[in-house]
Copies of this chain bind each other. A is one copy, B any other.
Amino acid sequence: MTVSKAAEKSAEKPADTAKGRKDAAEVQGQGAGEALQLGELSEQLGYVLKRAQLKVFENFLRCMASLQLTPAQFSVLLLVEKNPGRNQTEIASTLGILRPNFVAMLDNLESRDLCARIRSTNDRRSHILVLTDKGKAVLARAKKLVATKHEARLNELLGQANREALIAMLAKVASEF
């Protein structure tokens, strides 16, 4: 079919009525080529938060290019290292990852020999998670890259004190908003 949804909808909009053309005339030639005004957008918490998050993730991926670790994968490795012997449900839920979606993530990390699922002897339903030796080594290198290339960038942008204040406020928003 060649009739688009937009075309169907346009049947009920006043774009080609007399009023539509008048409105168009009022507006033609406004600020052609000039930069757009962000206006209240630049003070919207959600907007600036999302933009900042995208930039930070982008930078993180560049810093981690040699190790091929995403922010989510890095967080899993960090959490498993700090809490060895926990099962998938515990690690996933702590990170806000749903159990079904955590399976493929672990498949990936395990296939790269970064972590391992070990059948628990206490509860043979669950898989205990541990970092492999390679996983520990990769995580150590990842931490150094994050510290020297990623966090350092934030420090030189905001300064040490502001950087800590920013993270503290974000943590508060994340937990109490």
Chain A residues at the B interface, C-beta cutoff of 8 Å: 5-6, 9-10, 13-16, 20, 23-25, 27-32, 36-57, 59-60, 71, 74-75, 78-79, 81-86, 90-91, 94, 96, 103, 106-107, 110-111, 113, 116-122, 128, 130, 143, 146, 150-151, 153-154, 157-158, 162, 165-167, 169-174, 176-177
**Chain B residues with CB under 8 A of A154:** 45, 173, 177
The distance in angstroms between the C-alpha atoms of A143 and B96, with both chains bound, is 30
Complex contact B118–A27 (CB within 8 A): yes
Indicate which residue in B9, B23, B157 contacts A176 across the interface (CB closer than 8 Å): B157
Complex contact B45–A167 (CB within 8 A): yes
Q: List 30 A-B contacts (CB under 8 A).
A: A6-B103, A6-B107, A9-B110, A15-B116, A15-B117, A23-B130, A25-B121, A28-B120, A30-B84, A31-B86, A32-B122, A36-B82, A36-B90, A36-B94, A39-B79, A40-B78, A40-B82, A45-B150, A45-B170, A46-B57, A49-B49, A49-B56, A50-B53, A52-B174, A52-B177, A54-B174, A55-B174, A56-B173, A59-B177, A158-B173
Complex contact B167–A166 (CB within 8 A): no
**Chain B residues with CB under 8 A of A83:** 30-31, 36-37
The distance in angstroms between the C-alpha atoms of A57 and B78, with both chains bound, is 26
The distance in angstroms between the C-alpha atoms of A169 and B119, with both chains bound, is 46
